Copies of this chain bind each other. A is one copy, B any other.
Amino acid sequence: MDEITILQADVLKTLANPRRLEILHALATEPIEVGRLAEQIGASQPNVSQHLAVLRAAGLVDAAREGREVRYRLADPDVMVACGVMRALLERRLTRLGRMAEQSAAAPVPVATR
């Protein structure tokens, strides 16, 4: 099997978690320390630290010690570009489904809509 395909699957596996997406999204705005990040996304500190370790192992984020805190930042902003493309795609799909739901709600059965 193609080498890069396996690599891509690995990266995708790393991205395939809502918490980690949330973390990356937060890091896209600005570099931030673990504690504030945990508070910001409403997760426990160990949990966030674990996810950050996964992201770091995949080379998606970089860590930098600053005093007794550790500030994380995106290693490669281009990853967010790929995520953005996919997100835009999903939004298009959602609106399309929304329109279809409206249309089919208007046509068939005029049952009490709530």
Contact = CB atoms under 8 A, between A and B. Distances in A.
Interface string A1-14: 11011111111110
Interface string A29-40: 000000000000
A101 interface: no
B18 A15 contact: no
Interface residues of A, number: 42
A107 interface: no
A21 interface: yes
Q: How many of these chains are in the complex?
A: 2
A102 interface: no
Given A57-B114, A58-B112, 17 more contacts: A1-B18, A5-B21, A5-B25, A6-B18, A8-B87, A8-B90, A9-B15, A9-B17, A9-B21, A12-B15, A13-B13, A15-B16, A57-B113, A59-B111, A78-B85, A82-B82, A85-B85
